[in-house]
Chain A
Amino acid sequence: MTAPALELQKTPLNDAHRRMGGRMVDFGGWDMPVQYPAGTLEEHLRTRTHAGLFDVSHMGEIDVHGSGSIAFINSITSNDASKLIDGQAQYSALTTTQGTVIDDLLVYRFANDKLTLVVNAGTTIKDWNWIAAQPRDESVELKNVSSEYCQLALQGPDALSILQKLTDLPLDEIKYYHFDQGQVDGVPAIVSRTGYTGEDGFEVYAAADKAEQLWDKILDAGNSGSPEGVLPCGLAARNTLRLEAGMALYGHEIDETTTLLEANLGWICKLNKGDFVGRDALAKQKEAGVKRRLVGFEMTERGIARDEQDVVVDGARVGRVTSGSPAPFLKKNIGMAYVPVELAGEGQQIHIDVRGRLVAAQIVKTPFYKRER
């Protein structure tokens, strides 16, 4: 007797990934490509130098409609959604009453009574249950529309010129963290100048059944297959790109045990906007000062830090690595970790316990990588 295999969820691009030789892995219950035949290093470098295309259809989308939408979103998230204008997106977080993080998300404002929350794949159901249980004005209608959309992220310095071949939308007029609606290759789409790589780029949302058409057309438009063309990229490259760019990953840098202030996300804590879940705890922590802080580090001896390893200073275990990896573009080994604030200064010498061997590292400022604008 064997237990029935757990059915993995699939994005509308599952067939395309398999057709193109993607190596499929179980990512939080989703059957996703961790890399394509080009390999993680090449996918990472191509995104920095030309363009990479990522399937991020597993992300969740929750519509918040009705006249009380902005007030409702403001009551459950830490950033100030009232500052958004139509066609603008905002990085924010769902917080617990302790100011820790239920999820990080993007808030898209289409109109003052029409907003969409884009949340992480692995937390979509948890977020939905939490959001739906929060008190709200009867005008507010919630709908989990995750399965209706595909989401493709085209990232890199060539992203604009590639996508422009497929749309009449004036892409260079879309500002960072803004979006527009129109057609991409004749398909109705939302085109958002956002991403998770530290590069310029766009995220395209469209009906799920148009995913493969858009995927193939974007690869064609970007001369995929040529040495300087767009490459399809897997989750491993997405992770190293976001880490070089110093961005938090839910479940690693942030979760329900870390507060936004500890995670250096004070910039999305708008404590004066009015009350929201977790506001009091965050205000109190801000006044008292955090005891530990998320920092970036780079290895100064040979060795690669990995997630969950201990940070050691003067023989004492003082913190843990939240993400550790080679940084393919920077050609260094880097990571992020929580350490006590008194040990969080730039230049602080630390060691990482790499499977029993103490390897020297030092705290550096983040982001590790910043593109030239």
Chain B
Amino acid sequence: MANVPEDLHYSKDHEWVRVEGDVAVVGITDYAQNSLGDVVYLELPKAGEEFAANESFGSVESVKAVSEVFSPISGTVAEVNEALNDEPEKVNTDPYGEGWMIKVRMSSPGEVDSLLTAAEYEDFTKAETE
């Protein structure tokens, strides 16, 4: 069973958001990393780039496949997890911790309320696997 921390917000594209003041930390969920398999490469944006909610901000590649990753909220990239260049496997081993991908300075913090709660996301993934 995939790990779904209570205190995060989730998108239907399997990203998570942790709100830290006006900054949203974004990564992909345990369920997503598990479906993807061993992550070997990430294509991430540069600090300063702007994304609208649901816009693709990069890609995550496993041995077998490429998946786009979508920003759950609108804003400007404040920081990128450069450590993933050398250790992409952190996305698998610690998806909610060292596997974070970008920090976004939110332009519309209210968007967070439209994301799924942990319980809602869990139901969503269950429905997807059925």
Q: Is B64 an interface residue (CB 8 A)?
A: yes
Q: Is A193 an interface residue (CB 8 A)?
A: no
Count B-side interface residues using an 8 Å CB cutoff. 12
Across the interface, do B61 and A41 meet the contact criterion of CB distance under 8 Å? Answer: no
Q: Is B2 an interface residue (CB 8 A)?
A: no
Residue of B nearest to A39 (CB): B38
Across the interface, do A306 and B40 meet the contact criterion of CB distance under 8 Å? Answer: no
Q: Which A residues are CB-close (under 8 A) to B66?
A: 304, 306, 355
Count A-side interface residues using an 8 Å CB cutoff. 20
Q: A-side interface residues toward B, CB under 8 Å? A: 23, 34-35, 39-42, 44, 236, 239-240, 302-304, 306, 325-326, 328, 333, 355
Across the interface, do A34 and B64 meet the contact criterion of CB distance under 8 Å? Answer: yes
Q: Is B41 an interface residue (CB 8 A)?
A: yes
- Could you pull out 9 A-B pairs where Cβ atoms are within 8 angstroms? A34-B64, A40-B62, A41-B63, A236-B64, A239-B64, A303-B41, A304-B41, A328-B40, A328-B63
Q: Which A residues are CB-close (under 8 A) to B41?
A: 302-304, 326, 333
Q: Which A residues are CB-close (under 8 A) to B45?
A: none
Distance in angstroms between the alpha carbons of A236 and B38 in the assembled complex: 11
Across the interface, do A35 and B40 meet the contact criterion of CB distance under 8 Å? Answer: no
Distance in angstroms between the alpha carbons of A318 and B66 in the assembled complex: 24
Contacting B40 at CB < 8 Å: which of A23, A42, A326, A355? A326
Q: Which A residues are CB-close (under 8 A) to B43?
A: 303
Distance in angstroms between the alpha carbons of A303 and B66 in the assembled complex: 11
Residue of B nearest to A239 (CB): B64
Q: Is B109 an interface residue (CB 8 A)?
A: no
Q: B-side interface residues toward A, CB under 8 Å? A: 37-38, 40-41, 43, 59, 61-64, 66, 85
Question: Closest CB of chain B to A240's CB: distance in Å?
Answer: 6
Q: Which B residues are CB-close (under 8 A) to A44?
A: 63
Distance in angstroms between the alpha carbons of A325 and B41 in the assembled complex: 11
For the A-B complex with A302-B41, A326-B41 known, give 18 more contacts whose Cβ atoms are closer than 8 Å.
Answer: A23-B37, A34-B64, A35-B37, A39-B38, A40-B37, A40-B38, A40-B62, A40-B63, A236-B63, A240-B63, A303-B43, A304-B41, A306-B66, A326-B61, A328-B40, A333-B41, A355-B59, A355-B66
Q: Which A residues are CB-close (under 8 A) to B62?
A: 40
Distance in angstroms between the alpha carbons of A44 and B62 in the assembled complex: 14
Across the interface, do A304 and B61 meet the contact criterion of CB distance under 8 Å? Answer: yes
Q: Which B residues are CB-close (under 8 A) to A39?
A: 37-38
Q: For A325, A326, A355, which residue has the most chain B Cβ atoms within 10 angstroms?
A: A326
Across the interface, do B37 and A304 meet the contact criterion of CB distance under 8 Å? Answer: no
Distance in angstroms between the alpha carbons of A303 and B85 in the assembled complex: 11
Question: Closest CB of chain A to B95's CB: distance in Å?
Answer: 15
Question: Closest CB of chain B to A325's CB: distance in Å?
Answer: 6
Question: Closest CB of chain A to B123's CB: distance in Å?
Answer: 22
Question: Closest CB of chain B to A300's CB: distance in Å?
Answer: 15
Distance in angstroms between the alpha carbons of A35 and B38 in the assembled complex: 10
Q: Which B residues are CB-close (under 8 A) to A41?
A: 38, 40, 63
Distance in angstroms between the alpha carbons of A304 and B63 in the assembled complex: 9
Q: Which B residues are CB-close (under 8 A) to A325?
A: 63-64
Residue of B nearest to A306 (CB): B66
Distance in angstroms between the alpha carbons of A325 and B62 in the assembled complex: 9
Question: Closest CB of chain B to A251's CB: distance in Å?
Answer: 16
Q: For B41, B59, B61, B64, which residue has the most chain A Cβ atoms within 10 angstroms?
A: B64
Question: Closest CB of chain A to B34's CB: distance in Å?
Answer: 9
